[in-house]
Amino acid sequence: MNEQATKFWDGYWAAKEQDQPEKVEAFQFGAEADWLADLVVEGKKTATCSAHVAYELENEALPQAGQYNVVLNSQDLPVAIIQVTSVTVMPMNEVPVEFALAEGEGDYTFWWNAHVEFFKSILEPHGLTYSEDMLLVCERFEVVHKA
């Protein structure tokens, strides 16, 4: 985490009467970080998904329910702290419409097309190809603190 995100995180926990979790990550959402961060802050985005293979490529653990994350804008400034409420792994072509809409980015067709393009762009540099049944890591979350 950068300095601003660390201060934001520490400030949130300083006001609480409990120990802060040891593990926290700070990240930007997708290709349009400011728009997506705004959707999180506004409460319109309460879910996200990522390619399962990306976790394998980066040798990262899958997210877990209860985990906290600091959401950053395109300038790497913190805008919110979210807590993951559930994680499900499923093929992209089985993602329910309701989940896609919880991502807050538009209707189901928009969600589908935007994710196809995004996944193609992240897979291609690794010599991998997109398929409709590729596994996604689908997370639901809630905002617990805003900047």
Q: Which of 13-17, 63-67, 99-103 is predicted with the least confidence, judged by mean pLDDT?
A: 13-17
| pLDDT greater than 90 at residue 5 | yes
Q: Find the range with the poorest average confidence among 13-17, 34-38, 100-104, 141-145.
A: 13-17
Above 80 in pLDDT, residue 63? yes
pTM for this entry: 0.89
Report the chain's mean pLDDT, rounded to a whole number: 94
Q: What percent of the chain has pLDDT over 70?
A: 100
The per-residue pLDDT for range 68-100, each reduced to its tens digit, is: 999 999 999 999 999 999 999 999 999 999 999
Can you give the residue ranges of every domain in the chain? 3-146
pLDDT for res 23: 84
pLDDT of residue 30: 78
> Higher confidence at residue 23 or residue 2?
2
The per-residue pLDDT for range 30-41, each reduced to its tens digit, is 778 999 999 999
Considering only residues 19 and 70, tell me which one the structure prediction assigns the higher pLDDT: 70
What's the pLDDT score for residue 112?
96
Q: Which amino acid, 96? A: P
pLDDT > 90? residue 145: yes
Give the fold, CATH level 3, of 3-146: Sulfate adenylyltransferase (3.10.400)
Side-chain half-sphere exposure of 40, counting CA atoms within 13 A: 32
